[in-house]
Structure 1
């Protein structure tokens, strides 16, 4: 089982993340200070670290710095109540793989975690997905259409990734909800349709075909 280390000293937030990640099928372990976070993360027993910046004993930036100086390549998603641009830049330049400002929706955290775990699974994993003029770099999170750069939100990125990993395959709304949003299908929800519409606006409507009564399929424009 994929196991995620959560370094968070606010009990309510830690419980919130732990409950959601366990429901999504992950194993979890919570620590509440930076020294414990460093010790556990350095053990090699975890697949990803969700790291709060404002930890006691050692802050998240220092934990990040020490881990990277030890040449640990554990994926790290940093979380903080501070949303200043300088903090985001400091985290990413310090070696964090992603950065979330509090408060955040659990679904957004889950999408970021899934994005960061997939390239790390196994050696030689694909880091660039391409199909019919679409290109998605999983490491830099950059997308392009026929050479033109496209800005995607975290959820749009995760949704496009699903389509690019299954080109020409019909993906049901239930499958997309489970893989991208991380919760069971709600027949009254139209969130998939909304985000497909967003992608069509950015990538071209002809690239995502509707399969009536089922879902959507990524096709090559003809």
Structure 2
């Protein structure tokens, strides 16, 4: 899962980023709405953590712009504004949730899990079932015949992303953008290497190669 943190307070920005990294997320972080808008044009995110009061472009303007551009990524607002009218305005403009400052990092994680689950799935189950295996999004585990299969964080992230986009052919470039941070300078065949190891662990028929295009889980 890949999160974009948009917060101009550098100390808070860093704390949120480090917490989400410990939770197993991939995190890009920026300090204003204008920079965040550029990132959203280049990369796909599973959720956006967004402060409202920022320089260059405030959070509300950023939110309006991405919704106008048909970007439906879940957005969790962070704000010191506690007035109910501010919350209503943010939700009416397209925010999915609103968390007042100060807040608990554990609550932030819990709210993100709910937003991402709702966005990707109908219903509230965190368990995705495939004919060959089960994927537990809360525990970050893959289960085959009631046995937990050990995956590296990158293997899990690739499998999860393909499974959440089941039936959609995902290019190597899109996988790179989603699974690694923006400044990662990896080798051209790194995705193919991870796909090979995944097939050894979950079954060679689990992930289909569409030659010249990418990978898909049917």
TM range (shorter): 0.5 to 0.7
CA distance in 1, matches of 2:7, 2:39: 13
User: What's the RMSD between the two structures over aligned residues?
Assistant: 2.3
CA distance in 1, matches of 2:24, 2:73: 19
CA distance in 2, matches of 1:44, 1:53: 21
Describe the SS at the equivalent of 1:38: helix
1:29 aligns with 2:28: yes
CA distance in 2, matches of 1:3, 1:126: 20
Name 1:111's counterpart in structure 2: 110
Name 2:65's counterpart in structure 1: 66
Describe the SS at the equivalent of 2:90: helix
Describe the SS at the equivalent of 2:49: strand
CA distance in 1, matches of 2:122, 2:31: 34
1:120 aligns with 2:119: yes
Instruction: Indicate how the Cα distance of structure 1 residues 86 and 42 shifts in structure 2: closer, same or farther if over 3 A, else same.
Output: farther
Q: Give the C-alpha shift of residue 178 in structure 1.
A: 7.0
CA distance in 2, matches of 1:10, 1:76: 18
Describe the SS at the equivalent of 1:77: strand
Map residues 34-53 of structure 1 onto 2, 5 A cutoff. Answer: 34-53=33-52
Name 2:99's counterpart in structure 1: 100
CA distance in 1, matches of 2:43, 2:67: 13
CA distance in 1, matches of 2:49, 2:42: 15
Map residues 65-214 of structure 1 onto 2, 5 A cutoff. Answer: 65-121=64-120, 125-127=121-123
Name 2:198's counterpart in structure 1: none
Runs of 4+ that moved beyond 3 A: none
Describe the SS at the equivalent of 1:99: strand
Higher relative contact order (CA 8 A, sep 6+): 2
CA distance in 2, matches of 1:53, 1:44: 21
**Contact 1:42–1:67 (Cα < 8 Å) also in 2:** no
Q: Give the C-alpha shift of residue 44 in structure 1.
A: 3.5
In the alignment of these two chains, the number of paired residues is 132
